[in-house]
Structure 1
């Protein structure tokens, strides 16, 4: 969601800016732009198409300079249109890009209009540009420092002035922003919303903290923040060597990134389990042994797909570790009155580690006195990892497709390991059980590979969904969240309205929707609830519904008129949800392909949701 790239250098940095935007395309966007300081004036190019088209405009217009900023925008305030695309100018003297949402933009807009400023866009971002211009008195750093004290909400900004050609100021509050230092003594520095944008340019990264304002010039960098008295003081931030894996973003022989990432899951799971030789609290960090021994309940905070991973984990944590577990939608949790318990383990789940709602929910939980915090996250250098006391870093690698696949299954791995760890600490896991679970986990990559071999049959099924407008997904027990995830995948990328229910809830309402036009997708593992699920299947069949059943090989279910059964290679016990989500991912993917939608960049969605 929205991407920033900025640079100051003695060389032409426009190719760096454009390449940085290309690396951020996976986050989702509906417009893009670049602005530079060239020949004593501000110049820009903007587009509501892809970055490749912007690149063409830049080349045609001869835009080249040593100071510039660039942006990909995901619309929040104002429609996707060139006039709303970043960078925004103020009186052709200030250029600015912004991620986040300014909550008091209406108040500031009214104030600035009274001062004679004319607004060309519908965005909240243009308010910041005019505010900086209004406050500018020859020192851009001072103007930005004053401006951000007036902003309410979340922001990461990069701004430069016509009057100071070799200087960019960045600031962040609630949205991520990193500083990239020039390598090998090069007199250049960079800003970006994601270190991946700077892959191949620099691996020397500084993660700016909340409230930081950075003054960036070709050979020098200053970072400041306000002290308790409201005065800006210099601060030092650690420079880290971060190897952003640019090669992982290459599509290779696959048709889409989502397809590539689905088929990368055996390796991603193997990598996530690579260092796991036995179950121990140290898997989650040096603070884990003491912290995990002190807790008596678990609170999981997450959004979207990560929330469904949390719902799956609830069945594991309560069934295996026998510890009370709540799962909350992060965007709701911090706005309701809850009952805190200092002996709660607060677990956040996030692919990017920058999800704004989850970060805010974590901070809310901490403010209530719950200090035992742990994250399951795919990015070791993310804000979430820095904010939590403990972490389990999944090894999914870069995930480009907006619809999460390998990040989800590796999250489940991390959550299952947490379950086994808590079970062991609480005396509910014998040595024999630990050995059996570890053996099953090591076999998972092979089992997933066997499920992926079912793709041809799933492709045939997907053709049946092309003309459909609605679908129901059913599951029971720990596979109900997997049904939820399957419905989310289908609606995200194929635009078919899909809902999921516990199968036992059919007769409490959803059965009214079942007709021959309503496909019903059922997750049917051979577990203790299978016979109950078979009864629910018959309820659908009796109403003329068309069933698509993902069953285990030993479940003794056969295809018949109105019931299509696809057999999974093997039943996998407690970790069966990890296997059963794979065919649902493939069904959504091939249905979207058949319907001709933009699989990797579905409309209105962004990969990394960094605004509330």
Structure 2
């Protein structure tokens, strides 16, 4: 969630770039920089640390430019430093980037083989070098830009300057948001409406895969296939940009679409992307621990169940997960050689806080997985694991859920390595798999139209069942919870193996059955459950992957095919269609999606 601003202006941009970057400080950052066209040349100024450090650099070496780009960086590839700060430069190209380029190592080696040298440790410099090499072939800037984008795997939002093209700025997005701002004789590119808010309130939100070329008076927007497209220009109250819905009808929909960027930022905080090792904040002696106790409520409790599967499977470390509101009242038997993990988006959930304090009174080490790092919970624990997903406005949690699961996935890998259950090579493989998650979540979100097409039928149901095995069981619980919360349809999630122990009595021709079954070690049994349901008239919505679609029994009402992925990140990738189904069913019913009845975002009383 780095911050990006670009200005093709008619007056000095230095102060305006700095003003915009200050508005983006809420995203978090460890370095900052700006670049611009000065006398036909591209110059840049960068500094590690806060924006005030960059301002000190600029006081000694001002940037006299009317066209420029700016960036606040949250380190992913390469430690926080001036040399790794954006903008990055290669030959005629200077650019800023938000995202993770998954195939950067492969691209960097290929570029080195052709004689190119690198000055930073970042994946971003690869984009600049690649674009400059495409320009060397004689391509026009926009053609070279498209050729570069086609070679990138991962998530990105970009703002690009090319020397010799003084009035041209290019931008692109995949998995990270980017907006175009329309001014009077000026144009802007930014991470969000807040970035361009000081200069204009007329905004276009780029769609996934779009790229754009702007000059002083216009924007040419192209879709992923390179075809010219129009994107609606709308008026945005910039002062409210932090809670702005953008192109979306509801905050929940926006927050579902925010998940690639949110997970990207979360994952980057818990792994070293250069070495492909985990980098978990805090001092936890995983080898010494005998047990982990997770306490949470609602969606956070379900994320904790995901963590149980991951930690026990990878690290061979027993994990108990309990609903915080029940935990301390039953007087659980606790030991000091266990780690207590409290999970709460707000960090203020009363039941979870009380359970955490109960664990502390027993002498246990404590950790908190929270979004609000200044919360009571974060202040009281020994170790804080922030989820870094940004503000979540919708009451029904979406991006906070996937961010929590991302944290616990990284923690599970780290614990497995520390306990000697996996070697270094396997740790690196799993980290690389985790780094694929933002891109694959973005691909999964593209299933929205397929999900929308079945929402009307589901909205007419009285009851809905969700079934899953292994990690898909907690996701079945989460899908049912989301549907209940916002559509008010009764829904239950079950471990699919429990079907014959009672729930199958509920199956009839009026009952939609959502079965979550990627092609993994559980698939054969899940397919058997699917046949049992269909034999009794159940209307199956089968959510799987391409291999699962090929092996699925015939007869499902609908098959929703998510992208192929490693089982480690399947819960993250399959979350989006589950969330989108609940969202579109609620929309069909005319429910208040963002503020469902009787619910509050943060439950601060017991």
Normalising by the residue count of structure 1, what TM-score does the alignment of the two structures yield? 0.58
Following the alignment from structure 2 to structure 1, what is the Cα–Cα distance between the partners of residues 303 and 480?
A: 14
Residue in structure 2 matching 1:260, options 247, 254, 262: 254
Is 2:328 the counterpart of 1:299?
A: no
Is 2:519 the counterpart of 1:526?
A: yes
Aligned position for 1:605: 599
Aligned position for 1:377: 370
* Count of residue pairs the alignment pairs up: 365
Aligned position for 1:488: 481
**Structure 1: runs of 5 or more not aligned:** 1-244
Tell me if structure 1 keeps the 8 A contact 2:277–2:431: no
Aligned position for 1:580: 574
Q: CA deviation at 1:562?
A: 4.6
Q: CA deviation at 1:558?
A: 5.0
- 1:119-141 deviation per Cα after TM superposition (whole angstroms, max 9, x unaligned): xxxxxxxxxxxxxxxxxxxxxxx
Tell me if structure 2 keeps the 8 A contact 1:558–1:565: no
Following the alignment from structure 2 to structure 1, what is the Cα–Cα distance between the partners of residues 553 and 488?
A: 28
Following the alignment from structure 1 to structure 2, what is the Cα–Cα distance between the partners of residues 359 and 247?
A: 31
Tell me if structure 1 keeps the 8 A contact 2:261–2:438: yes
Tell me if structure 2 keeps the 8 A contact 1:553–1:569: yes
Following the alignment from structure 1 to structure 2, what is the Cα–Cα distance between the partners of residues 561 and 362?
A: 48
Aligned position for 1:185: none
Following the alignment from structure 1 to structure 2, what is the Cα–Cα distance between the partners of residues 342 and 280?
A: 29
Normalising by the residue count of structure 2, what TM-score does the alignment of the two structures yield? 0.59
Following the alignment from structure 2 to structure 1, what is the Cα–Cα distance between the partners of residues 555 and 288?
A: 55
Following the alignment from structure 2 to structure 1, what is the Cα–Cα distance between the partners of residues 578 and 555?
A: 22
Aligned position for 2:305: 311
Give runs of aligned pairs for residues 242-281 of structure 1, distance below 5 A: 247-275=241-269, 276-277=271-272
Q: CA deviation at 1:292?
A: 3.6
Aligned position for 1:552: 545
* Secondary structure at the counterpart of residue 283 of structure 1: coil
* Secondary structure at the counterpart of residue 305 of structure 1: helix
Tell me: CA distance 1:313–1:581, structure 2 relative to 1, closer, same or farther (3 Å): same
Following the alignment from structure 2 to structure 1, what is the Cα–Cα distance between the partners of residues 398 and 300?
A: 11
Following the alignment from structure 1 to structure 2, what is the Cα–Cα distance between the partners of residues 341 and 279?
A: 34
Q: CA deviation at 1:294?
A: 3.1
Tell me if structure 2 keeps the 8 A contact 1:354–1:382: yes
Aligned position for 1:570: 564
Q: CA deviation at 1:334?
A: 0.7
Is 2:344 the counterpart of 1:350?
A: yes
Aligned position for 1:510: 503
Q: CA deviation at 1:302?
A: 0.4
Q: CA deviation at 1:394?
A: 1.0
Q: CA deviation at 1:437?
A: 1.2
Following the alignment from structure 1 to structure 2, what is the Cα–Cα distance between the partners of residues 512 and 562?
A: 19
Aligned position for 1:407: 400
Following the alignment from structure 1 to structure 2, what is the Cα–Cα distance between the partners of residues 327 and 408?
A: 16
Q: CA deviation at 1:520?
A: 0.3
Tell me: CA distance 1:380–1:506, structure 2 relative to 1, closer, same or farther (3 Å): same
* Secondary structure at the counterpart of residue 363 of structure 2: coil
Residue in structure 1 matching 2:586, options 578, 582, 592: 592
What's the RMSD between the two structures over aligned residues? 1.7
Residue in structure 2 matching 1:444, options 420, 437, 441: 437
* Secondary structure at the counterpart of residue 558 of structure 2: strand
Residue in structure 2 matching 1:283, options 280, 283, 286: 280
Q: CA deviation at 1:274?
A: 2.3
Query: Which of these two proteins has the greater Rg computed from alpha carbons?
Result: 1
Following the alignment from structure 1 to structure 2, what is the Cα–Cα distance between the partners of residues 578 and 337?
A: 34
Tell me if structure 1 keeps the 8 A contact 2:519–2:544: yes
Q: CA deviation at 1:525?
A: 0.8
Moved over 6 A (4+): none
Following the alignment from structure 1 to structure 2, what is the Cα–Cα distance between the partners of residues 343 and 416?
A: 22
Tell me if structure 1 keeps the 8 A contact 2:278–2:410: no
Residue in structure 2 matching 1:539, options 523, 532, 554: 532
Aligned position for 1:366: 360
Tell me if structure 2 keeps the 8 A contact 1:511–1:540: yes
Q: CA deviation at 1:560?
A: 4.3
* Secondary structure at the counterpart of residue 343 of structure 2: strand
Give runs of aligned pairs for residues 122-521 of structure 1, distance below 5 A: 247-275=241-269, 276-277=271-272, 283-285=280-282, 288-289=283-284, 291-370=285-364, 372-521=365-514
Tell me: CA distance 1:341–1:374, structure 2 relative to 1, closer, same or farther (3 Å): same
Following the alignment from structure 2 to structure 1, what is the Cα–Cα distance between the partners of residues 278 and 443?
A: 32
- 1:365-418 deviation per Cα after TM superposition (whole angstroms, max 9, x unaligned): 111221x11111111111111011001111110000000000000000110111
Tell me if structure 1 keeps the 8 A contact 2:534–2:556: yes
